[in-house]
Structure 1
Amino acid sequence: MRTWRVGTFSMGGSLLFLGLFLFFSRFLGFSMVQVMSAWWPILLIVLGVEILLYLFLSRQEKPMLKYDFLSIFFVGLMGTTGIAFAVISSTGLMDKVEELIAREELSFELPAYSYQMDDSIKRVVVRTVGYDMTIEATEEKEVSMFGTYRVQTAKKDKLLKTAEDLISANKRGDTLYLNVKTLPNEVGPFDLQGNVAATLLVPSDVKLEVIGNGNELTLKPRTLANDWNIESASSVMVDVAKNSDLKVAAVGVEDVRGKDGEWKVSEDTASSEGIENSSVLKNAVYQAGEGKHRINIVNAYNVSLNSN
């Protein structure tokens, strides 16, 4: 006659219920985390039922429980795993892991932005946050921005609902201040920052100042009618159209690129004096026409010229 040891039935029943949970989860849309964090209380129910059945069916006057310790060990291991999933899920960390696994890279259009200019605005100051940007002069009497942004997300919804989610404008006196914001992003170890590729159109007759943040800028001055000042960009590309009348001055840069003879380059020896192993900075000037209007570039790593 076989001896009934408590734990054998519990392990078999636990595996049966776990298999059923996993099977039906494929049709009901449950995730592995939901299954593992929800099914473990059944272990206690099955084990309790087995003990009660053993006591009820035992013919001994004073029945003594006999355990199958190997089965109890596996049941306990499965239960501990389920409890761990439930605890981690309650902290929200498991949701983060699921979201990270389900992420894909998506691209969206930036919400259209425009600011109508008036004659009282003589200067525009743009502060960027590290995204690549193209800045182009326009004959229109408005500042506008458009482009795309790319993010890794598990959601299909757009991060930016309105243009104000990415850029803010403040007028003070004769100056319009534009501050570009970072994309919305939750702080956490699994969160990845997105990227923006934007084009900013600025009226050609107002003075422009751009404060970079180690980002790449492409300048398209076209028929420039005022001065531009660019500061703290890592790389600046200047597109110069035919019959342009401007001067491009790069001050304290490490590298200038363009066709032979376009730049007049001089080394800035004073800026690197006394610094070991430092690269010699350069000052460079390019002039088209009489050079009536200037593009001043300061504190950039390299400046490239593309003359058409």
Structure 2
Amino acid sequence: MRTWRVGTFSMGASLVFLGIFLFLSKFLGLNLIQVITGWWPILLIVLGIEILLYLFLSRQEKPVLRYDFLSIFFVGLIGTVGIVFAIMSSTGLMGKVEEVMAREERSFELPAFSYKMDDSIKRVVVRTVGSDMTVEATGAKEVSMFGTYRVQTAGKAKLLKSADDIIAANQKGDTLYLSLKSLPNQVGPFDSQGMVAGTILVPNDVKLEVFGNGDSLTLKPRNLANDWSIESTSSVAVDVPENSNLKVGVVGAQELRGKESEWKIEGKKESNVPEDSIEKNAFYQTREGKYHINIAGAYSVNLNTNQ
């Protein structure tokens, strides 16, 4: 009487077919995920053949039926993995995993932005969203922005197609409002936020107000001919040019950097209070200090007078 071990044939055939698929994938350019998601249905065919073969032989030889539990477990494990991959592929999660595995950090140029100014605009208000920005005064009668952004991507396609994807401009009365946008980002466990480093050129004869969001800001007033106001930034660096006529005022800063002799501290230092926990009010002035740069709510302010 013949003994039939159910599962042995299925495991052997499964290994043979899996080996064939992996071997052919080298020549067909398939990746491992494509092989697994496309190969697992063959397990059902192999198991069905084994059952039909057993039924056919049982009529003629009446074999003794035994189960090869190790083989059945192995076949079931491979089948389960294949089904899981198929479900992930149908829901789009597999594509997301493949994208994450192929990601690398890339830098791209920001789309060019320019807004023509006229004499009716007296003030520019800028709102940032955590980007590292540089604001520079210029003699041109327009506001413009350029720079780079860095993101993790699986391809070479740019994330930002036009300037509208990164900045919004609206004129209300005599004020031009510029709102910087965050980089597009899908919510999920595999996504990460990119970084933006840009430069904004502002006409030197209009009033400027910048509202930050815990970001870093570099100011290059150059030939400034109006007042600037900066609020809610983490750190501010001010490049003061020679022969300028400026007064840089700071309110509520934890750190003042630059030559100590350049800063004039306002108020008295409290005794028995750590230096790094004191909010400092100070100013720096050149000549008569005709034009003001007022900085409030910044953790650190760095004064660079070697310009």
State the partner residue of 1:244.
244
Per-residue deviation at 1:21?
1.8
In structure 1, how many angstroms separate the alpha carbons of the residues matched to 2:289 and 2:266?
19
AA matched with 2:303: L
For residues 199 and 278 of structure 1, do their structure 2 counterparts lie closer, same or farther at Cα, with a shift above 3 Å needed?
closer
- The question of 1:266 aligning with 2:250 is answered no
| Aligned mates of 2:105, 2:260 — CA distance in 1 | 41
Structure 1 vs Structure 2: percent identity of aligned residues? 71
Aligned counterparts, 1:99-248, within 5 A: 99-248=99-248
1:194 corresponds to which letter in structure 2? G
1:87/1:69 CA distance change after superposition, 3 Å: same
Residue 46 of structure 1 corresponds to which residue in structure 2?
46
Provide the C-alpha distance between the structure 2 equivalents of 1:2 and 1:140, rounded to a whole number of angstroms. Answer: 96
Q: Distance in 1 between matches of 2:217 and 2:167?
A: 17
Q: Give the drift of 1:87.
A: 1.9
Cα distance in 2 for residues equivalent to 1:42 and 1:280:
71
* Structure 2 unmatched runs, 5+: none
Deviation at 1:277, TM superposition (A): 11
Aligned length, in residue pairs = 305
Bigger CA drift: 88-97 or 288-297?
88-97
Instruction: Please state if 1:85 is matched with 2:88.
Output: no
Deviations 1:77-133 (A, max 9, x none): 111111122223323222222211111010111111100000000000000000100
- TM-score for the superposition, normalised by structure 2: 0.93
How far apart, CA to CA, are the structure 1 residues paired with 2:106 and 2:223?
A: 36
Q: 1:293 aligns with which of 286, 291, 299?
A: 291
Contact 2:3 2:64 in 1 (8 A): no
How far did residue 250 of structure 1 move? Answer: 0.5
Relative to structure 2, which stretch is displaced further, 216-225 or 38-47? 38-47
Match of 1:283 among 281, 284, 307: 281
Deviation at 1:30, TM superposition (A): 2.7
Quote the Cα distance in structure 1 between the aligned partners of 2:6 and 2:262.
Answer: 90
Aligned to 1:5: 5
More displaced 10-residue stretch of structure 1: 169-178 or 155-164: 155-164
Letter of the structure 1 residue corresponding to residue 296 of structure 2: V
Instruction: Tell me which moved more, 19-28 or 108-117.
Output: 19-28
Moved more, 60-69 or 154-163: 60-69
8 Å CA contact 2:10–2:50 kept in 1: the answer is yes
Runs of 4+ in structure 1 off by over 4 angstroms are 61-65, 275-278
Q: SS where residue 262 of structure 2 aligns?
A: coil
Rate the CA distance shift 1:253–1:277 in 2: closer, same or farther, 3 A.
Answer: closer
> In 2, distance between residues paired with 1:172 and 1:29?
58
Q: Is the 8 A contact 2:217 2:237 kept in 1?
A: yes
- Could you tell me the TM-score, scaled by structure 1's length? 0.93
Cα RMSD, aligned residues only: 2.2
AA paired with 1:186? Q
Please name the residue that 1:304 is paired with.
Answer: 302
Mapped to 1, the partners of 2:302 and 2:168 lie a distance apart of 30
Shift of 1:63: 5.9
